């Protein structure tokens, strides 16, 4: 015999009270969302017959997840961040907005305020000389008509040979493998860097703990992240995921998409082996000035 009470007017009124519906203070939008979370949680507890042990383990899990700063990692790993891309794609299609380089998730490891260069820059600090493979990464940014966009900002970041990111990996120098490059008169950007390795979740962290219970790995293919922006154009958040990686189409964060695979070419030169990666981007027109900016998602070292 199953007992359910979450649908009753009494319980619904109780959660409306808990969500602040009975007062005129606070934030109405947040109240609406909290009321829904409470009501849906109650329903889930009933429908799946969640035990008290299961419930309190989940509460403890959230404490540990936040304590380790992994909430953004978990939402990527559970595919919610990718879902937001799918939803935006569907809204764009509905609105008749099409064309340009596909978007894909930002992930939790951006740091604002990277050094700015014009045309070209070296991204690595030399600490992995002799360990990493030299990589020449370059391409052009185009407008919707296929004309090169001069003065676009290419804000890019990637992992080192161990798959870790500066700032979050405190053993790396500040802004290692993070730069902003302003495109030249031909819309071109050029970076000298090192071939990144794929990221793996901390095997002892709460995200991997959840993934283990789902029977899943926590690995990403090697990739390079991009924010691309230019006046009058729609901000683009995307990534290049590198060809030949074992996890290219088995990404725990579901970021690899058609049109976002970068073909890495390894070249044997006189100075040894290096990699070449060419990737062009095309932006959409901005419909409103807010479209030119990235989301206001809280990020490390957020600029004022
Ligand atoms: C990453 O490097 C990343 O890009 C994502 C999406 C999640 C975790 C680590
Ligand atoms: Fe990443």
Q: What is the DSSP string of 208-274?
A: HHHHHHTT---B--SEEEEEEE-TTB--EEEEEEETT-TTTT--TT----TT-EE-EEEEEETTEEE
CA of 67 to the centre of ligand 2 (A): 21
Q: What are phi and psi of 178, to 5 degrees?
A: -135, 125
pLDDT for 302 equals: 85
Token pair 């990686």 is at which residue? 245
With a cut of 70, which residues of the chain have pLDDT below it? 1, 304
17-49: b (≥16 Cβ within 10 Å) or e = eebbeeeeeeeeeebeebbeebbeebeebeeee
**Confidence (pLDDT) at 107:** 98
With 0-12 CB in 10 A as exposed, 13-18 as middle and 19+ as buried, what is 61? Answer: middle
pTM of the model: 0.96
Q: Specify the pLDDT at position 123.
A: 98
DSSP state at residue 292: G
Q: Which atom of ligand 1 is nearest to the CA of 239?
A: 4
Q: How much is the pLDDT for 297?
A: 97
Measured in residues, the chain has a length of: 304
**Ligand 1 pocket list (CB less than 6 A):** 73, 76, 105, 107-109, 199, 220, 253, 255
At residue 269, the pLDDT reads 86
- Pair 101, 258: CB distance under 8 Å: no
Q: Give the residue, by CA position, lying nearest to ligand 1 atom 4.
A: 107
What are the pLDDT digits (tens) for 23-67? 999 999 999 999 999 999 999 999 999 999 999 999 999 999 999
pLDDT of residue 238: 99
Query: What pLDDT sits at residue 216?
Result: 99
Q: Probe ligand 1: pick from 177, 253, 257, max atoms within 8 Å of CB?
A: 253
Q: 44 by DSSP, 3-state: which?
A: helix
- Chain centroid to CA 17: 36
Rounded to the nearest angstrom, the distance between the alpha carbon of 174 and the centre of ligand 2 is: 17
Quick count: other Cβ atoms within 10 Å of Cβ 212? 13
Q: Which helix (H) or strand (E) holds 160?
A: none
Ligand nearest to the CA of 224: 2
């Amino acid at each position: 015999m199953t007992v359910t009470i979450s649908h009753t007017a009494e319980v619904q009124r109780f959660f409306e009270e808990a969500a602040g519906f009975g007062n005129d203070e606070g934030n109405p939008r947040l109240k609406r969302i909290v009321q829904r979370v409470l009501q849906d949680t109650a329903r889930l507890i009933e429908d799946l017959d969640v035990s008290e042990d299961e419930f309190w383990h989940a509460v403890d899990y959230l404490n540990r997840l936040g304590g380790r700063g992994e909430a953004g990692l978990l939402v990527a790993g559970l595919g919610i961040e990718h879902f937001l891309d799918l939803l935006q794609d569907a809204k764009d299609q509905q609105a008749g907005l099409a064309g340009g380089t596909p978007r894909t998730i930002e992930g939790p490891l951006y740091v604002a305020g990277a050094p700015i260069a014009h045309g070209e820059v070296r991204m690595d600090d030399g600490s992995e000389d002799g360990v990493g493979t030299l990589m020449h990464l370059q391409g052009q940014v185009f407008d919707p008509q296929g004309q090169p966009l001069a003065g676009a900002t290419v804000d890019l970041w990637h992992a080192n040979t161990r798959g870790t990111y500066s700032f979050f990996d405190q053993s790396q120098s500040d802004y290692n493998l993070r730069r902003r490059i302003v495109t030249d008169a031909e819309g071109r950007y050029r970076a000298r860097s090192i071939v990144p390795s794929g990221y793996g979740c901390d095997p002892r962290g709460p995200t991997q703990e959840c993934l283990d219970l789902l029977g899943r790995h926590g690995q990403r293919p090697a990739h390079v992240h991009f924010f691309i922006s230019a006046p009058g154009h729609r901000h683009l958040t995307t990534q290049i995921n590198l060809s030949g990686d074992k996890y290219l189409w088995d990404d725990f964060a579901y970021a690899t998409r058609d049109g976002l695979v970068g073909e890495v070419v390894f070249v044997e030169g006189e100075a040894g082996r290096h990699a070449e990666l060419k990737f062009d981007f095309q932006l959409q027109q901005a419909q409103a000035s807010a479209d030119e900016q990235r989301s206001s998602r809280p990020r490390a070292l957020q600029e004022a």
